[in-house]
């Protein structure tokens, strides 16, 4: 099946704007990735179920939660729907969307150079849920703040929402809690989890520990 014209124009715009920043297209999709080792920036030219065109979503996906899908753990909708009517007009719209995405990508890099910056963000969250507590617990553990890490994972384990994914996360908390101690192997386990998630997402092998920032 030939690529739809509006998708082709979005790809061309992303290649010209995002590829020079180091972003890589995920397969032949409308999603571009900014690989930072332990997290990945996600630029999604999101389609509509009702019309041809694109929304723009940009965010960060933490890879220490083992999964085979991308999530917007931080970030989300950046631009509303741009409707495709004809090629010349949409080419300009696609370029504008890619140009909007570029500074968002760079801002995320600046915002999260280390897991400690995620820890600081989670500590300020006004209404933390199970995932926020898990992110806070993991990043505290990576910083050697084991008591803080255990406290957040214990809070995550109190979640009562009846959903299978909640049970999976609570089980993960139970697995991580005993590792939160000196020489407990916590960092090695998180690095291994990131590696497994990278593999599940089709990301390349990282050159060293995925917890070491690029550069």
Residues 131, 97 share a domain: no
What pLDDT is attached to residue 91? 87
Q: Among 65, 90, 111, give the residue marking a domain's end.
A: 111
Compute the distance between CA of residue 115 and CA of residue 135 in angstroms, rounded to an integer.
9
Judged by DSSP in three states, 82 sits in strand
Residue 17 has pLDDT above 60, yes or no: yes
Residue 49 within a domain = yes
Residues 128, 54 share a domain: no
Residues 120, 196 share a domain: yes
10 Å CB burial of residue 14 (0-12, 13-18, 19+) is buried
Residues ≥6 apart with Cβ < 8 Å to 54: 6, 10, 30, 45, 46, 47, 48, 81, 82, 94, 97
Residues 178, 142 share a domain: yes
Compute the distance between CA of residue 184 and CA of residue 114 in angstroms, rounded to an integer.
21
Residue 208 within a domain = no
pLDDT in tens, 88-143: 888 888 999 999 999 999 999 999 999 999 999 998 989 999 999 999 999 999 99
pLDDT level of residue 1 (50, 70, 90 thresholds): low
pLDDT in tens, 53-83: 789 999 999 999 999 999 999 999 998 877 7
Residues 139, 88 share a domain: no
Residues 144, 61 share a domain: no
- Calculate what percentage of the chain has a pLDDT beyond 70: 97
pLDDT level of residue 215 (50, 70, 90 thresholds): low
Residue 19 has pLDDT above 90, yes or no: yes
What pLDDT is attached to residue 177? 98
Model-level pTM? 0.92
Residue 43 has pLDDT above 90, yes or no: yes
Count of the separate structural domains present in the chain: 2
What pLDDT is attached to residue 89? 86
Residues 93, 22 share a domain: yes
- Calculate what percentage of the chain has a pLDDT beyond 90: 75
Residues 129, 101 share a domain: no
Compute the distance between CA of residue 74 and CA of residue 116 in angstroms, rounded to an integer.
15
Sign of CA dihedral 126, 127, 132, 136: positive
Compute the distance between CA of residue 86 and CA of residue 36 in angstroms, rounded to an integer.
36
Residues 71, 146 share a domain: no
Q: Among 84, 111, 138, give the residue marking a domain's end.
A: 111
pLDDT in tens, 159-179: 999 999 999 999 999 999 999
User: 194 is in which domain, residue-wise?
Assistant: 115-200
Residues 141, 88 share a domain: no
Residues 99, 187 share a domain: no
Question: Strands (DSSP E) along 31-158, which ranges?
Answer: 31-35, 39-44, 53-62, 74-83
Q: Among 111, 127, 157, give the residue marking a domain's end.
A: 111
What pLDDT is attached to residue 214? 66
**31, 25 in Cβ contact below 8 A?**
yes
What pLDDT is attached to residue 79? 85
Average pLDDT, whole number, for the chain? Answer: 92
């Amino acid at each position: 099946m030939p690529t739809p014209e509006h998708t082709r124009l979005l790809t061309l715009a992303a290649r010209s704007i995002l590829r020079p920043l180091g972003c890589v297209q995920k397969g032949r999709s409308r999603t571009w990735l900014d690989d930072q080792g332990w997290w990945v920036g996600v630029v999604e030219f999101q389609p509509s179920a009702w019309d041809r065109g694109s929304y723009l979503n940009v965010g960060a996906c933490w890879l220490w939660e083992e999964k085979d899908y991308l999530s917007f753990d931080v970030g989300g909708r950046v631009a509303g729907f741009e409707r495709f009517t004809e090629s010349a007009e949409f080419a300009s719209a696609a370029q504008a969307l890619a140009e909007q995405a570029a500074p968002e990508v760079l801002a995320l890099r600046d915002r999260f150079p280390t897991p400690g910056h995620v820890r600081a963000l989670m500590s300020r969250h006004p209404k933390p849920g199970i995932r926020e507590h898990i992110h806070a617990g993991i990043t505290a553990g990576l910083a050697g703040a084991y008591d803080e890490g255990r406290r957040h994972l214990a809070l995550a384990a109190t979640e009562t929402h009846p959903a299978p994914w909640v049970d999976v996360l609570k089980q993960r908390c139970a697995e991580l809690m005993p590792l939160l101690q000196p020489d407990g192997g916590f960092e090695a386990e998180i690095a291994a989890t990131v590696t497994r998630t990278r593999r599940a997402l089709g990301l390349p092998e990282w050159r060293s520990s995925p917890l070491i920032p690029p550069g």
